[in-house]
A and B are shown apart, each in its own frame.
Chain A
Amino acid sequence: MLISEYSAEGRTGLAVMRRVLRHHRRYQQSTILFVSWPNMRLMAMRACWYLSPYLFVEGENLLARALSRAFEEANDPSRCWTDEEHRSFVLTLQDELVPWLSRIIVYVRKRGDDWVVWDYEKPLMNLLQELGREAVEVKLADAPKNAEGIRLKLLSHICTASDVEIARIGFSSDGATLGTQGQYPVEGAR
């Protein structure tokens, strides 16, 4: 279920989003997009809650990089105040996140010395809260996981039905996603 902006999770997600965007100097840029698409703020907030600010790949924060690129892409002046702003934000966000999420395995250490694998079912922040937030480790998977399943799970956690409709994202029965922006180049993770 989508987290609400009224809940404690939502407020934490908003605070994380603000801090990430300010740290990467994207806050000013994002504010105009938030005026034109108020739902974009909620999507970014839910992405922050789903992924947490603790995932690093190639020495970069995965969440910060994805949000930065999504805002950069959506901020194209030719798309000013059109549905294309919204569409490019959602597509870039998923195109930045899904390839990595399908290639990595995220381990979270429980209290004690057991490690739990994040299966994308619930937001990582929820898992970290439940397990006591001791440590997170990111490793490259031996074989890539099903990207379509992860995409569906990601979208279900960050978008409302109307967001998916405005972004014109469709799923065909043979598993190919309609409306993405091409292949995913993925290199090594750390």
Chain B
Amino acid sequence: MRIHGIVWLILLFASLLLSPLIVSPEHYRGLIAAEMMQTGTGYGARESLEINRRGDALYRLLMVKTGFESALTASAVPSAPANDLIMNTVERAGHVRQLESVVLGYTPGLLQSFYLFCLRLSHSWCWFAWLSPFLAALILDGLMTRRAKLRSFEYTHPTVYNLSWHLIIAVFAASLVAYSLVASLPLLLFPAVWVFSGTLLRMLISNIQHSA
């Protein structure tokens, strides 16, 4: 289970850290603006602003207050166009020019990559708040089912229990990796993650072993 979690964690950080090498900051900006527009048309202006506000707060907490943002930009290269203007006067080989644009756009792209991730986490949290009664009902149902099984001498299934654990980790981790991807995500993905996880949680609780 630990290895399973670590593999997903590596995938998440690889996606967050390596995407800015492939995607330009302008592309990130367009994607974030499109995602904000999508939430605006899907949920309305008030909810969309609330998601943005929480995303901003999360970004500040994770990146600014911890000092990562200052450390990244202290010696950083935030402006590709300005540097292009200066560097165009110097002769370089073609492959060096290609690498330059990747390197110059990395730091702003990385910050935007983290911002996009925070914005999607905020979006997901918005659905958690809405679905929490449903999730609470699933947990209660799981507890009741387990108690009924024990009272009626029915077996709890260790296989289902283990499978549920692994699937919950996989669903949560895969959703985190998906939130870090530089691709437009459908709005339905965000509630679907919670609903699917809730159903798995119910299976997990209803199959906790008798000795536990």
Residues of A in contact with B (beta carbons under 8 Å apart): 2, 4-5, 14, 18, 27-28, 31-32, 34-36, 38-39, 41-42, 77, 80-82, 160-162
Which DSSP category, helix, strand, loop or mixed, fits chain A's interface?
helix
A81, B32: Cβ atoms closer than 8 Å: yes
Q: Which of B52, B70, B81 contacts A77 (CB 8 A)?
A: B52
16 pairs, CB–CB < 8 Å, chain A vs chain B: A5-B77, A31-B59, A31-B60, A32-B59, A32-B60, A35-B108, A36-B32, A36-B115, A38-B25, A38-B108, A39-B78, A77-B49, A77-B52, A160-B82, A161-B85, A162-B82
A28, B60: Cβ atoms closer than 8 Å: yes
* Residues from chain B with Cβ under 8 Å of A32 in the complex: 56, 59-60, 115
In this assembly, does B36 line the interface, its C-beta being within 8 Å of a C-beta of chain A?
Answer: yes
* Residues from chain B with Cβ under 8 Å of A77 in the complex: 49, 52-53
Interface bin, chain B: 20 to 34
Q: Which of B36, B79, B86, B111 contacts A35 (CB 8 A)?
A: B111
In this assembly, does B29 line the interface, its C-beta being within 8 Å of a C-beta of chain A?
Answer: yes
A116 to B157 alpha-carbon distance, docked (Å): 87
A18 to B63 alpha-carbon distance, docked (Å): 16
Shortest Cβ distance from A64 into chain B, in angstroms? 19
A161 to B73 alpha-carbon distance, docked (Å): 23
A36 to B74 alpha-carbon distance, docked (Å): 17
Residue of B nearest to A36 (CB): B29
Residues of B in contact with A (beta carbons under 8 Å apart): 25, 29, 32-33, 36, 49, 52-53, 56, 59-60, 63-64, 69-70, 73-74, 76-79, 81-83, 85-86, 107-108, 111-112, 115
A110 to B111 alpha-carbon distance, docked (Å): 43
* Residues from chain B with Cβ under 8 Å of A28 in the complex: 60, 64
* Residues from chain B with Cβ under 8 Å of A160 in the complex: 79, 81-82, 85
Residue of A nearest to B69 (CB): A31
A42, B64: Cβ atoms closer than 8 Å: no
Shortest Cβ distance from A157 into chain B, in angstroms? 13
A166 to B76 alpha-carbon distance, docked (Å): 22
A161 to B81 alpha-carbon distance, docked (Å): 9
Residue of B nearest to A161 (CB): B85
A78 to B56 alpha-carbon distance, docked (Å): 14
A38 to B86 alpha-carbon distance, docked (Å): 17
B79, A80: Cβ atoms closer than 8 Å: no
With known contacts A80-B36, A81-B36, A31–B64 Cβ distance under 8 A: yes
Residue of A nearest to B82 (CB): A160
A4 to B59 alpha-carbon distance, docked (Å): 27
Q: Which of A18, A34, A42, A80 contacts B82 (CB 8 A)?
A: A42
* Residues from chain A with Cβ under 8 Å of B52 in the complex: 77, 80
A31 to B64 alpha-carbon distance, docked (Å): 8
Residue of B nearest to A82 (CB): B33
* Residues from chain B with Cβ under 8 Å of A4 in the complex: 82-83, 86
Residue of A nearest to B86 (CB): A4
B73, A41: Cβ atoms closer than 8 Å: yes
B60, A39: Cβ atoms closer than 8 Å: no
The interface centre, meaning the residue of B74, B79, B115 with most chain A CB atoms within 10 A of its CB, is: B79
The interface centre, meaning the residue of A4, A38, A160 with most chain B CB atoms within 10 A of its CB, is: A38
B85, A39: Cβ atoms closer than 8 Å: no
Q: Which of B33, B60, B82 contacts A2 (CB 8 A)?
A: B82
* Residues from chain B with Cβ under 8 Å of A42 in the complex: 78-79, 82
B79, A5: Cβ atoms closer than 8 Å: yes
A162, B78: Cβ atoms closer than 8 Å: no
* Residues from chain B with Cβ under 8 Å of A162 in the complex: 81-82
Shortest Cβ distance from B94 into chain A, in angstroms? 23
Residue of B nearest to A166 (CB): B81
A18 to B52 alpha-carbon distance, docked (Å): 24
